[in-house]
Amino acid sequence: MEKMKLSEATTRRLPLYYRCLSELSKKGEDKVSSAILEDLLKIDAATIRRDFSYFGQMGRRGYGYDVKTLLMLFNDALKQDTTANVALIGVGNLGHALLNFKFHQIGNARISAAFDVNQEIVGTVQSKVPVYDISDIQEQIKEQDITVAILTVPASAAQKMADMLVKAGVHGIMNFTTELIDVPSRVIVQNVDLSVELQALIYSINHQNQADLF
C-alpha cells in the first residue's frame, strides 16, 4: 500500500476499526456499511467514511464496504503481521497489570522485557516476561530490537527514564505517569493519565445529566 499521512485522530481509530472488522469476519459477514459501524463503534458514520477514504474509494452505494478488503488494508497499515517488541519500565501495581494483559491476542505488540530497580524481582520472570535491572535498558533494547516502551514509574523518575529510553533508541513511549516528559521530535509520546480520563468521564456524565433537565 502506498505510504500515506493519516491524521492523529484517524490513526487512533484504525485499531478499533480493525478489531471490529475482525469480529465481523469471524461471524461470516462479507460486507458492512458505515451506518452499521457507527452503531457498533459509536463513531459518526461521516467520520468513518472520511477515515476510510484515506485508503481509496472502496465503498459502494447500496452495498457498503467489503470486510475482507478493509481487513487487508488495515492489516497492512497497522503491520499486524509484524510483532512489535515492547519494554515495560516499572513493575509496580500498574506494571504487573499490564504484564498480565494479553496484548498479542488483540494486536501485534508484546511486552518482551521489563525493567525495575527492585532487586527482589530483578532476575525473575513475571507473567512470562523477564525482569532486568534498569541499568540494562540500553543493552536489552538494542539486543531485542525494542521500538516502544511503556513508562509506569513514579513521576519523579519519569524524565530520567525517558532520557535513558531515548538514548537506547526507542521510537515511541506510552507514558502512564503524570509527568510531561521532554523528548526529541523523532520520538513519539502518548500520555495516558488515568486520573484525567476518569475526571473527563465524570464531567461528561454530569454534563449529560444537566442537559437532560432541559
108 and 148 inside one domain: yes
For the chain, percent of residues with pLDDT exceeding 70: 87
Instruction: Kindly state whether residues 95 and 73 are assigned to the same domain.
Output: no
Q: Is 107 flagged in the annotation as binding?
A: no
Amino acid 169: pLDDT: 94
Q: Is 94 annotated as a binding residue?
A: yes
- Co-location of 73 and 88 in the same domain: no
Residue 211 pLDDT > 90, yes or no?
A: no
Give the integer Cα–Cα distance in Å for 171 and 148. Answer: 6
- Look at residue 2 in the predicted model and tell me its pLDDT: 47
Q: Is residue 134 in some structural domain?
A: yes
Choose one of 77, 105, 121: the last residue of a domain.
Answer: 77
**Same domain as 33, residue 102:** no
Clarify whether residues 92 and 54 are in a common domain. Answer: no
124-173 pLDDT, tens digit per residue, is 999 999 999 999 999 999 999 999 999 999 999 999 999 999 999 999 99
Please give the radius of gyration of the chain, using alpha carbons only, rounded to the nearest integer: 20
Shared domain for 127 and 92, answered yes or no, is yes
Indicate whether 214 belongs to any domain.
no
Among 17-26, 66-75, 77-86, which is the least confidently predicted range?
A: 77-86
Specify the pLDDT at position 1. 43
What does DSSP assign to residue 114?
E
Same domain, 73 and 94: no
Query: Does 64 show up as a binding residue in the annotation?
Result: no
Are residues 88 and 188 part of one domain? yes
Examine the fold and report which residue of 37, 57, 77 is the final residue of a domain before the chain moves on.
77
Let me know if residue 169 belongs to a domain.
Answer: yes
Q: Which three cell numbers stand for residue 177?
A: 505517569
Grid cell digits, residue 130: 523477564
Of residues 118, 86, 79, 117, the one with CA closest to residue 102: 86
- Number of domains observed in the structure of the chain: 2
Which amino acid is it at 28? G
Q: Annotated binding residue at 148?
A: no
Structure confidence by residue, pLDDT tens digits, 32-64: 999 999 999 999 999 999 998 888 766 667 678
> In this structure, are 38 and 131 located in the same domain?
no
Is 93 one of the annotated binding-site residues?
Answer: yes
**What is the residue range of 64's domain?**
8-77
**How far apart are alpha carbons 159 and 179 in whole angstroms?**
8
> Which pLDDT does position 198 carry in this prediction?
85
- Please tell me whether residues 120 and 65 are part of one structural domain: no
**Shared domain check, 191 and 89:** yes
CATH classification of the domain holding 52: 1.10.10.10
Q: Is 40 marked as binding a ligand? A: no
| Distance of alpha carbon 87 from alpha carbon 103, whole angstroms | 13
C-alpha cell at 60: 459502494
Q: Say what the pLDDT of residue 84 is.
A: 82
pTM: 0.69
